């Protein structure tokens, strides 16, 4: 299982190899990395925990004080290989990760079946999280998987509301992707129709 898709009760879960987008583990001292990141990728290197920086060329997700997950959407335009000059490390890890995208009104409910993080509070745009989902480690963000959606997200919808339900993207180790996929299937089977009934309270009181 690397490519798969399932929709149930309006929740869609989709899996694909992360290697479709060149993906790297970037490590180094932010003091001497930030210049080069700004020059080569046009991005400000995130130094706040769980912060994401993205543009059309690339996305950087903060993983630790000296570690980022780097996606190069336009590998040619972004001079990824030229990021480092003999210091730090840039290791291609796309083949070791599977990317899952979850969308739909009950997406957060589905994830709440496997993580104790308060996603409604924590998983805000511009942030990424590293947590345990079911029994495996994942990196998770509510940033759109496709940079084309970036613009879409910024646009208010027809009713003038900000688009509140972007796709949630998460990365899992390739070897554990089959397990996590089966867990998603089992959890989808357990969803109840509609977010009502056992639906969750929403933080935004009737806007």
Partner 1 sequence: MTCRLNQGGVIDRSKPLNFTFNGKPLTGYAGDTLASALLANNIHFVTRSIKLRRPRGIMGRGPEEPNALLQIGEGPSTLADQRATQVMLTEGMNARSINGWPSLEHDLLSALSLGSKLMPVGFYYKTFMGPKGWWERYEKLIRPIAGMGLTPDGPDPDLYEKRDLHCDVMIVGGGPAGLAAAASLIGTGLRVVLAHEQALWGGGLLASRTQLNGQPANAWLEETLAALHAAENIQLLPSTSVFGHYDHHFLGAIERVREQRPNAPIRERFWKIRCQRLILAAGAIERPIVLPNNDRPGIMTAFAVRESIERYAVLPGKQAVVFTNNDSAYATARCLLDAGAQVTVVDSRASAGTAAKAMLPEQTTVIYNAKVCDTTGKKRISGVTVRQTDGTFTRMDCDLLALSGGWNPSVHLHSHASGKLQWDEALATFVPQNDLAGVRAIGAMAGAFDFATALTQGSEVAREFATELGSKAGTDLSLPEVSHAEPGPSQLQPLWRVAGKGPAFVDMQNDVKATDIELALREGYRSIEHVKRYGILGFGTDQGKFGNIIGLGIVGELINKHPTEIGTTTYRPAWTPVTFGALVGPDTGELFEPIRQTPMHEWHVQAGAVFEDVGQWKRARYYPKAGEDMDAAVARECLATQKGVGVLDYSTLGKIEIHGPDAITLLERVYTNNWQKLGIGRCRYGLMLDENGMVMDDGVTARLGEQHYLMYTSTGGAARVLSWMEQWLQTEWPDLEVYLTSVTDAWGTISLAGPKSRELLESIGTDINLSTEQFPFMSLRTGAVNGVPARVQRVSFSGEMSFEVSVPANEAAELWAMVMRKGEAFGATPYGTEAMHVLRAEKGFIIVGQDTDGSISPLDLGMEGMISARKDCLGKRSLMRSELQRPDRPQWVGLRPKDPTKVLPEGAQLIEDPAAKPPVAMQGWVTSSYFAPRLGHAFALGFVNGGRARHGESLYAWDADAGVIPVEITQPVQYDPEGGRQRD
Residue 40 touches partner 1, criterion: CB under 8 A: no
- C-beta neighbour count of 124 within 10 angstroms: 11
Span of 33-41, 43-51, 95-103, 157-165 interacting with partner 1 by CB under 8 A: 95-103
Residue 200, helix vs strand vs coil: coil
Residue 17 touches partner 1, criterion: CB under 8 A: yes
Q: How far is the CB of 50 from partner 1 (least distance, A)?
A: 17
Separation between Cα atoms, residue 65 and residue 46, nearest integer Å: 9
187 membership: H or E segment, kind and range: helix 174-189
Among 77, 120, 150, 153, binds partner 1 (CB under 8 A): 120
Q: Which is nearer to partner 1, 5 or 200 (CB)?
A: 200
Q: Count the site residues for partner 1 by CB under 8 A.
A: 57
Residue 158 touches partner 1, criterion: CB under 8 A: no
102 touches 168 (CB < 8 A): yes
Residue 38, helix vs strand vs coil: helix
* Interactions with partner 1, residue window 186-205 (CB under 8 A): 186-187, 189-192, 197-205
**DSSP letter string, 62-108:** EEETTEEEEEETTTTTTT-TTS-SSSSEEEE-GGGEEEEEEESTTHH
Residue 93 touches partner 1, criterion: CB under 8 A: yes
Q: Which residues contact partner 1 by CB under 8 A?
A: 2, 17, 19, 25, 27-29, 66-67, 86-89, 91-97, 109, 112-113, 115-118, 120-121, 134-136, 173-176, 178-180, 182-183, 186-187, 189-192, 197-206
């Amino acid at each position: 299982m690397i490519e798969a898709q399932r929709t149930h009760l309006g929740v869609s879960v989709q899996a694909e190899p992360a290697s479709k987008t060149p993906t790297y583990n970037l490590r180094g001292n932010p003091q001497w990395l930030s210049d080069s990141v700004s020059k080569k990728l046009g991005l400000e290197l995130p130094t706040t925990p769980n912060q994401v920086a993205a543009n059309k060329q690339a996305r950087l997700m903060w993983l630790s004080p000296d570690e980022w997950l780097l996606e190069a959407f336009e590998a040619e335009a972004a001079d990824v290989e030229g990021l480092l000059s003999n210091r730090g490390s840039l290791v291609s890890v796309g083949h070791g990760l599977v990317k899952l995208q979850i969308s739909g009104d009950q997406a957060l409910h589905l994830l709440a079946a496997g993580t104790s993080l308060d996603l409604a509070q924590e998983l805000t745009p511009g942030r990424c999280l590293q947590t345990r989902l079911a029994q495996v480690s994942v990196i998770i963000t509510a940033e759109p998987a496709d940079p084309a959606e970036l613009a879409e997200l910024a646009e208010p919808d027809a009713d003038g509301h900000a688009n509140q339900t972007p796709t949630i993207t998460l990365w899992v180790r390739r070897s554990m992707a089959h397990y996590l996929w089966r867990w998603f299937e089992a959890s989808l089977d357990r969803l109840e129709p509609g977010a009502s009934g056992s639906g969750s309270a929403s933080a935004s009181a009737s806007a």
